[in-house]
Amino acid sequence: MLELQGAQEQLLGQDAQALREALAHGTLSSRALAEACLTRITRLDPQIRAFAWIDPDYVRAQADRLDNLHKSGAPLGPLHGLPIALKDVIDTADMPTENGTPLDQGRRPTQDAAIVARLRDAGALIIGKTVTTELAFLHPGPTCNPTNVHHTPGGSSQGSAAAVAARMVPLAIGTQTGGSVTRPAAYCGVVGLKPSFAALPRRGVLLQSHSLDTLGIFAQTLGGVALVYDAVVEGKLGRMTGALTHAPTVRGAQQFGILATLPGTTPGEPAPQHPDVRAMMANVAARLGAEAIAMDLPEVFDHAALMRECINDVEMAACYAPYQAAETDTRRLSPEMHAALTRAAGHTTASYHAARAFQHDLISALEPLFARADVLVCPATPTPAPKGLGSTGSSIFNGLWTLCGTPTLTLPLYQTQDGLPLGLQLVARPGAEAILLRRAATIWQKLQ
């Protein structure tokens, strides 16, 4: 039994690309990989609590069907046999989707979300649903950080990040409206891709903010997120995988724009940063050397947090009106949700439209920076994962990029003196995922 467990541990230590190759060549079966995941979930999830729903028999039935497909000689999808977990705000026709709220307890959608249909078409094995904060907002679920279970895993895609970090599953899907992919990826120490706005289809996903909601991907490596992105990206956008194998186009020495500080919640004041975060950025700049250039964000970004909050509040109040109407017991919606819905009533129509127009001002303001650097480099979070499970931490370094619709990658390249992960965040122009991945691979190699 110990020998079998050791072999499964070794198997789940491989990245998604290596697993996909083994599955395609028949040296690994979908059933064997699924069993390895189930064994590890059984052992670890009672403490980490990353999964909201999982049915081993359902997982095994999918694996057997995929193995039979392989034996038949039929063409295999790019994700053939790879287990992938889904945040429990993504509709699935054959399992519950409860959105992290008792108001949706027992909810079973009648069809898959568009992203799920694409994953299935690509051959992925949907292993189960992961814990989300309440309605993908601020009230935490029960998930712990696998690095240190006394610390938050972040939110709102907490279960997806934790499941990948604990190697219970090689891949997972989450969503981000503020910092819900980037922050948990940074706190848990995994790679997190928040693509450009609307790069991945949102039909069938809980709608909180039609101007901000973005699907994202968690994996152990850059190759893992690229593999999933390429399998499900909208056709109009470019693919990423080739960026890891083709030589980058170099514009000169100054390829990386280093943003040592980012705005806080109060206009004109930068957000305070943990000493280890400041040390991380100093180390990044020093090791990139001549390829790095220090940059400051334009002053217009000082107002980004307030503008994003206005948009989020107003659109969430409209989207979640049915939940407000259905609630007969005020304890069924959290204090955080009630506070946001109350705050939304204070925003005028004019302030909302001004905030929407502000989005375009921000994107334009970034152009001079991207004219000098392919990507911007900054911390993913102002601190490592806070202790305790009562909050999901700060998304102040993420919401501005969600507001701009820019793609971001979180790289787990650093940690604190206490061993908590620190995430490095890379940002590119909207639609420039391939450039983002290319530069991320360079940084990964230089900083390892």
Q: What is the DSSP string of 423-446?
A: EEEEE--TT-HHHHHHHHHHHHHH
> Cα–Cα distances in Å, from 130 out to 33, 52, 89, 141?
19, 5, 9, 10
156 is catalytic: yes
Length of the chain in terms of residues written? 448
> Which one of 29, 87, 160, 334 is the catalytic residue?
87
Q: How many CA atoms lie within 13 A of 115 on its CB side?
A: 29
DSSP per-residue letters across 107-139: ---SS--HHHHHHHHTT-EEEEEE--SGGGSSS
Helix, strand, coil shares, percent, the chain, to 5:
45, 15, 40
Identified catalytic residue from 30, 157, 160, 180: 180
Let me know if 87 is a catalytic residue: yes
Q: Taking the alpha carbons of 204, 209, 214, 218 in that order, is the dihedral positive or negative? A: negative
The answer to whether 433 touches 388, Cβ cutoff 8 Å, is no
Task: Tell me if residue 180 is catalytic.
Answer: yes
Whether cis (ω within 30° of 0) applies to the bond prior to 30 is: no
> Rounded to whole angstroms, how far apart are CA atoms 426 and 379?
8
* DSSP per-residue string spanning 319-357: HTHHHHHH-SSGGGS-HHHHHHHHHHTT--HHHHHHHHH
Pairing of strands 214-219, 191-194: antiparallel
The tokens for 202 are 């949102």
Residue of 30, 156, 157, 395 with catalytic role: 156
Q: Catalytic residues, which ones?
A: 87, 156, 180
